[in-house]
Amino acid sequence: MNWISTLLGNLNYGTILLLMLLESTVIPVPSELVVAPAAYHSASGELNIFLVVLFATIGADLGASINYFVALYVGRPVIYKFANSKWGKLCLLNQEKVEKSERYFDNHGVAATLTGRLVPGIRHLISIPAGLARMTYWKFLLYTTIGAGAWHAILAGLGWYLHAIVPKNELEDTIKQYNHYIIAVILGIVALAIIYIVVKNIIKAKSSK
């Protein structure tokens, strides 16, 4: 999509918010190619790194809220129909991906809206099962903000770090290389978070007997 490429080439707080809004719906916008480069520019004084994270997170909240309310009001059959349509495929979407996000939500409960924001392939779709399950919106928004904020902070840290060692013309390729390591670390964090939640619930259940 040429217009997305244009936005990626002109990063400011407004385009960061818009791109992260799109990424949190169903539009295939890679957040690592938005937040990390924006933080890279922050290191040279062009932007403020804290505002980069803030506007990226606000955008993610807005996009996730769109998914949440669409799922809440149109229901599963319409969601699946769109996922399997020509437009859904243009957005790199299909029913299997939606069902995968639903299984993740079912397996991890409401906390999935927090941990799911850190999982590749799940991140931009986890708001759909939250809407289908009629999760309390303000709890959904809180968990989404925490999860998205954590993810954007990690990407911002990467971008800031790369400014000292990578020329601007090599930035995109370097981010893609580091992305594999980021995913591995994030999945480890998510696994620890899930273990913590499970153990906490077990202890709570035993103490209530």
- What number of helices (H) and strands (E) belong to the chain? 11, 0
Domain boundaries, the chain: 2-207
Reference 28, options 3, 47, 61; nearest CA is 3
**Where is pLDDT greater, at 60 or 189?**
60
pTM across the whole model: 0.80
Q: How far apart are CA 51 and CA 20, in angstroms?
A: 14
Residues 140-168 have pLDDT tens digits of 999 899 889 988 998 898 889 888 888 88
Tally Cβ neighbours within 10 Å of residue 39: 27
Residues 4-59 have pLDDT tens digits of 556 667 789 999 999 999 988 888 788 888 898 899 889 888 899 999 999 999 99
On whether the CB atoms of residues 173 and 166 are closer than 8 A, the answer is no
Q: Which of 33-42, 59-68, 79-88, 136-145 has the lowest mean pLDDT?
A: 79-88
Q: How far apart are CA 38 and CA 56, in angstroms?
A: 10
Give whole-number Cα distances, 17 to 27, 50, 157, 188, in Å.
14, 13, 18, 28
Rg (alpha carbons) of the chain, rounded to whole number: 18
